[in-house]
Amino acid sequence: MIAEYDIYTEKKFSKLSIEPNTLYIVSTPIGNLEDISFRALFVLKNVDSILCEDTRKTSILLSKYNIKNKLISFYSRNELIRLDDTIEKLNSGLSMAIVSDSGTPCISDPGGILVNKCIENGIKVKSVPGCSALIHSLVLSGFKIKNFYFQGFLPQKKGREKTLTELSKIKSLIVIYESPYRIVKLLSEVIKFFGNKEISIGRELTKIYEQFIRGRISDINKNIQSLKIKGEFVLIINNN
């Protein structure tokens, strides 16, 4: 299967090329590893090195497609430490890709500081678009998507209530990311600040056990046992 895939993809890659002095922002699957583009695979295979939020997770993806490349740890706690060295390498003519654990870098994930620094230094930045938990969840929510407000992760402690108060005043779909450790707490907070609104909750996106539930918060709270508390969650509040 992999051999046949490689022959086919090499043909698809024949007109692609990697530019020097360039940072590629590469979107990777949010769950199902087959949700990756030919162009993304080409870039990951042919850049000089790959900046990874977690090298172990990126290795799983690369291994599936027989790609071997140099991986460099690049996550929120060492982003500033690695910044100058990364800019120096790009300025010297190297090409690099940046990936997060899943989805698109810079959206509630590392990368934004580096992209800004590249722009300041005249280094080319290219995006290889792909999966996004945000868009995936919105289209499966069934809500009318005229506009939406993306919050991402809420503050864990300081400023959390203030943020929820401000969000409750925005008449739109509100999209919040949450961990399995705080999702139950978040549901109780949402009914407190928003009232008994309609919501959609998604987890294990694009995986075998993907789960989406939708309804009034009070009904979902009563049947919380139907929601498996595992994986990251995307909560959408219909605050129109």
pLDDT of residue 224: 76
Please tell me if the domain spanning 2-128 has the same topology as the one spanning 133-238. Answer: no
pLDDT of residue 228: 79
**For 55-74, b where at least 16 C-beta lie within 10 A, e where not — what string?**
eeebeebbeebebeeebbeb
% the chain with pLDDT above 70: 94
pLDDT of residue 10: 65
Interval 36-66: pLDDT, tens: 999 999 999 999 999 999 999 999 999 999 9
Evaluate if residue 8 carries a pLDDT over 80.
no
Ramachandran angles phi, psi of 227, nearest 5°: -100, 115
Evaluate if residue 209 carries a pLDDT over 90.
no
2-128 homologous superfamily: Tetrapyrrole methylase, N-terminal domain (3.40.1010.10)
How far is residue 126 from each of residues 21, 43, 53, 83, 170, measured CA to CA in Å? 11, 11, 18, 18, 33
Interval 222-240: pLDDT, tens: 877 777 788 889 999 999 9
Helix or strand or coil: residue 87?
A: helix
Evaluate if residue 3 carries a pLDDT over 80.
no
pLDDT of residue 226: 75
- What's the whole-number mean pLDDT along residues 177-191? 93
- Residue 73's identity, in one-letter code, is S
Evaluate if residue 14 carries a pLDDT over 80.
no
Evaluate if residue 210 carries a pLDDT over 80.
yes
228: its two tokens: 């498996």
With beta carbons less than 8 A apart as the criterion, state whether 187 and 203 touch: no
Plot region of 111 (φ>0 → left; ψ -120 to 50 → alpha; else → beta) = left
Q: How far apart are CA 158 and CA 141, in angstroms?
A: 30
Architecture of domain 133-238: 2-Layer Sandwich (3.30)
> Which sequence spans correspond to the domains of the chain?
2-128, 133-238
At which residue do the structure tokens 């300025």 appear?
91
pLDDT of residue 32: 94
With beta carbons less than 8 A apart as the criterion, state whether 98 and 105 touch: yes
Q: How far apart are CA 56 and CA 62, in angstroms?
A: 10
Q: What is the number of other CB atoms lying within 10 angstroms of the CB of residue 22?
A: 19
The distance of Cα 212 from the centroid of its chain, to the nearest Å, equals 18
pLDDT of residue 1: 45
% the chain with pLDDT above 90: 82
* Single pTM value for the model: 0.90
Which stretches does DSSP call E strand in the chain? 22-26, 49-52, 71-73, 95-99, 124-128, 148-153, 173-178, 198-203, 211-216, 233-238
Q: 238 pairs with which residues across the strands?
A: 173
Q: How far apart are CA 72 and CA 51, in angstroms?
A: 5
With beta carbons less than 8 A apart as the criterion, state whether 183 and 190 touch: no
From 119-128, 147-156, 163-172, 226-235, the region with the lowest mean pLDDT:
226-235
Interval 69-115: pLDDT, tens: 999 999 989 999 999 999 999 999 999 999 999 999 999 889 999 99
Cα torsion angle, 175, 177, 180, 183, sign: negative
Q: Which residues contact 150 (CB under 8 A, 6 or more apart)?
A: 134, 175
Evaluate if residue 6 carries a pLDDT over 80.
no
Largest CA distance in the chain: 59
